[in-house]
Amino acid sequence: MFDFLHVLHLHDATVRSVLFGSLLIGATGGVLGSFAVLRRRSLMGDALAHAALPGVALAFLWTGSKSLPVLISGATCTGVLGVLLIQFITTRTRIKADAAIGIVLTVFFGIGIVLLTHIQRSLVGNQAGLDKFLFGQAASMVEDDVRVMSVMSLLIIVVVLLLYKEFKALIFDPKFLQSLGYSLQRVDLALMGLIVLTVMVGLQAVGVVLIAAMLITPAVAARFWTERLHVMVVLAAFIGGLSGASGTFLSAQAPRVPTGPVMVLVATGLFVLSGLLAPRRGLLARWRRQRSNVLRERRHHFLRALVVLQERSDNAPRFRVDELVQELGWERRRVAGEARRLRRLHLVDCRDGHVQATAQGLAEGTFVVKSHRLWEHYLVYRDIVNADHVDRPADEVEHLLTPDILERLEEILQRDHGIDTERVVDIHGRGSQYRPAGRERNEVGT
Amino acid sequence: MTDASRPDGAPQDVEGASRPNASAGASTGDSIEASINQAADPSTDSPSIQLLPDLDPASIPIRIHDMTIAYHRKPVLWDVDLDVPEGQLVGIVGPNGAGKSTMILAIMNLVPKASGWVRIYGKPYQEMRRIVGYVPQRESVDWDFPISALEVVTMGRFGHVGWIRRPSKQDKQLAHEALEKVGMGEYAHRQISQLSGGQQQRVFLARALAQDAKVYLMDEPFAGVDAATERAIIDILMELRAQGKTILVVHHDLQTVTRYFDWLIMLNMRVVASGPTEEVFNDTTLNKTYGGRLTVLSQAAQAVQDYERGRG
């Protein structure tokens, strides 16, 4: 273990501070990204970063200095200019935001590349290091850089904490916030300003091309796990920080692999995991829910068929698979499979080619049948559908009716329509209490 | 920019339709009977708009004077003169695009006015915003936002809390009480997308209650709610009225107008009628509000927009 750390240079103060720097960048990106994504400004971050490139080059050409504050200032100038240009285009012409972002992003990036190439050609020897702004090189951060970045990150986080309430309301319901006397422009400007700063802080380590991912990916990953904004922000900071630090760490192991892409890959890995595994919003959870709905529906239909067959045959308890096939309209294989599944659940017994519901299965089947019939009656008596159309809508809803709802249905049908709900049968069938001509209309709902 | 959006020349050119109620503004001394008679006679174009000229302005919850609103240079509300009396449940009805929501936003100064002014108890909105509560249209927000019902209601306190400061324990307590009041106490910590449409509407109402206002502006609080919620909401509105509060409600269901509202504003790009519901709600005003007669006004609005576009 000690050897391992030694190989990774973790004992080295510089390496440690670089790691700390990228952790901060990732965390800050996650925090601001949460707001940016919810406000649908995530592509703005992308435009901002790309538009920052010419600023880096110009700042260098102007001052000849490669110190981080100078380059970041230049980057901020052109970045903000780019965003303003996008806003100008969208408000003053009919061009929509996505097209405007596309235009501005590419042209600024193009200018940036031209300038970088120019610097590379004309000032040989001095240019090394500027191209790291393309894809990011965390390892090139010196301790001074890390100090600058730490202070900026801290500042950003403090402002977010102070304006958390305003940001939340701005994104959820801007008109309401405005009606309370808050200036939307100011809150929005503060948020945009923080997003700008966040992008600029991460520029050197992640690079202009990919930094948008450090805004978007951790935030979207965090959203899968929670329904609360403050939890989302903290989680996104955690995911961002983890991707930042481990990205830097991994890219340091293989020389000349830029940091940005590795960070983004780690963040994306966490995003995919979140998307699959998150308990409520995740894909697997969703599939599981759908699957269990399908299975419940199948079980209900099967048990209902048993109860209906029993009614029809004067309480014969057992039925051949053929009879069930005919009643359900399913393939024989599915009927047999379902019978086996329900036997495992102790809802039916299967013996010599016959199926019989257990007491438990019978109870559930009776409940389903009653739900179906009460719901049918309700729909017809409330004029919601015609009697001859009622089967399908009832089919869709009966699986979802709870005993509570059923009780209310019974109450309504008894009170308003004089239906004996204990004796309710198939609305189309023999002995039905349904009398089309005599039914009342236009009752007020409850 | 917005001031330029109402050229003096353009509207007057259009059949004189532009200032249908200018005379009503001048003749506010007329008796109520006179305005009713005018409304009853379909041949006159004079609207029945009841103003309250004799009252002290500081006792009138909402007074709108000569207000015109334009969106993207297209006028959507023309020359609105209105007084809303205190302690009444006031309905605003009118067809789609009549400017109902715009009027509410304009009262709160949230859309630029081409002309005119609004006073809340005699003062500009900016000074009175703490006594105004607002319920926006339910569809105006993203209900998948990661936030709980209680957090939404707590926003009602933000106007009292102020910049940077956090809502206090007392604010949260008030928010909780507001939720209880609309029968949503047990849903306080639910995420808002897990609520039904009616429940979401109740949350919005609770947020307005948490504002603890004297004047409430509500944009379609009954839209898409179940009967039980409608009942619950109207009960609360009537309770607010009993406390002397004034409630302005954008409403769609003409069936319930006479049952719900003491005072009615009928709107179709201009104020067609405004007064006690039983006096202004009749076939004539309904015809004027929902009939095709006002299309000339929207044509004029279009003409103004085209003119402005050509100029700008």
Identity (one letter) of the amino acid at B103?
M
pTM of the model: 0.81
Residue A364 lies in a domain: no
If contacts are CB pairs under 8 Å, which of residues 186-205 in chain B contact chain A? Answer: 191, 193
State the total domains in chain A.
Answer: 2
Residues of A in contact with B158 (CB under 8 A): 165, 169, 177, 180, 182
Query: Using a CB-CB distance cutoff of 8 angstroms, which residues of chain A are in contact with residue B228?
Result: 446
- Domain B3-140+216-311, CATH number (from 3.40.50.1100, 3.40.50.300, 3.30.300.10, 1.20.58.100): 3.40.50.300
Q: Do A169 and B159 touch (CB under 8 A)?
A: no
Check residue A100 and give its pLDDT.
93
DSSP 8-class letter at B166: P
User: Among the three residues A249, A278, A307, which one is the final residue of a domain in this structure?
Assistant: A278
- Whether A396 maps to a domain, the answer reads no
- Residue A438 carries which DSSP code? T
Give the least confident one: A70-74, A315-319, A333-337. A315-319
* List of chain B residues whose C-beta atoms are within 8 Å of the C-beta of residue A38: 145-146
pLDDT tier for residue A139 given thresholds of 50, 70 and 90: confident
Over its C-alpha atoms, chain B yields an Rg (Å, rounded) of 20
Nearest residue to B133 via CA among B223, B208, B67: B208
pLDDT band at B13 (very low <50, low <70, confident <90, very high): very low
End-to-end C-alpha distance for chain A, whole angstroms: 71
Q: Is the dihedral of CA A315, A316, A317, A321 positive or negative?
A: negative
Q: Kindly report the nearest CA distance between residue B40 and chain A, in angstroms.
A: 32
Best to test chain A binding among B128, B163, B215 (most A CBs inside 10 Å): B163
The pLDDT of B78-106, averaged and rounded, is 94
* Range name among A245-259, B77-91, B262-276, B288-302 with the lowest pLDDT average: B288-302
Summarised one tens digit per residue, pLDDT across range A157-206 is: 999 999 999 999 999 999 999 999 999 999 999 999 999 999 999 988 88
My answer on whether A251 and A350 are in the same domain is: no
Same domain, A307 and A183: no
CB nearest A176 (choices: B136, B145, B148):
B136
Among residues B103, B312, B64, which one has the least CA distance to residue B218? B103
Domain contains A331: yes
pLDDT band at residue A350 under the 50/70/90 scheme: confident
What domain range is A225 assigned to? 12-278
Q: Residue A406 falls within a domain, yes or no?
A: no
Q: What are B213-243's pLDDT values in tens digits?
A: 999 999 999 998 888 899 999 999 999 999 9
In which band, very low, low, confident or very high, does the pLDDT at A398 lie, cut at 50, 70 and 90?
Answer: confident
Number of H helices, E strands in chain A: 18, 3
Of A245, A278, A311, the one marking the end of a domain is A278
Residues A53 and A32 in one domain: yes
Residue A388 pLDDT > 70: no
Kindly list the residues from chain B whose CB atom is less than 8 angstroms away from the CB atom of residue A232: 146
Whichever domain contains A216, its CATH number is: 1.10.3470.10
Which H helix or E strand runs over A355? strand A354-357
- Statement: residue A141 has pLDDT above 60: yes
Q: Is A182 on the interface with B (CB under 8 A)?
A: yes
Residue A232 sits in the same domain as residue A292 = no
Query: Between A163, A180, A232, which is nearest B159 by CB?
Result: A180
Domain boundary among A336, A357, A378: A357
Q: Is residue A92 part of a domain?
A: yes
Residues A260 and A297 occupy one common structural domain = no
Inter-residue contact A244 to A153 (CB < 8 Å): no
**Stretch (H or E) spanning B119:** strand B113-119
Check if B140 contacts A (Cβ < 8 Å).
Answer: yes
Cβ contacts of B37 within 8 Å, gap of 6 or more = none
* pLDDT of residue A415 exceeding 70: yes
Say whether both A60 and A178 belong to one domain: yes
B262 pLDDT more than 70: yes
- Residue A86 pLDDT: 93
Secondary structure (DSSP) of B77-116 = EEEEEEEE-TT-EEEEE--TTSSHHHHHHHHTT-S-EEEE
Query: Looking at the domain assignment, is residue A123 inside a domain?
Result: yes
Task: Return the top range by mean pLDDT from A136-145, B66-75, B124-133.
Answer: B124-133
Confidence category of residue B24, pLDDT binned at 50, 70, 90? very low
Q: What is the pLDDT of residue A392?
A: 65
Residue A409: inside a domain, yes or no?
no
Mean pLDDT of A123-148: 77
Mean pLDDT of B35-55: 59
Band the pLDDT of B52: cuts 50, 70, 90.
Answer: confident
For residue B126, the one-letter residue type is Q
Q: Which residues contact B25 (CB under 8 A, 6 or more apart)?
A: B51, B66, B79, B81
User: Does residue A4 belong to any structural domain of this protein?
Assistant: no
Q: What integer pLDDT is reported at residue A440 of this predicted model? A: 45
Measured over all CA atoms, what is the biggest interatomic distance in chain A, rounded to whole angstroms? 99
Q: pLDDT (tens digit, 9 = 90+) per residue, B279-300?
A: 999 888 888 888 765 456 666 7
Contact B155 A229 (CB under 8 A): no
Cβ of B155 and A162 within 8 Å? no
Nearest to A372 by CA among A409, A335, A346, A323: A409
Tokens of A227: 């329904």
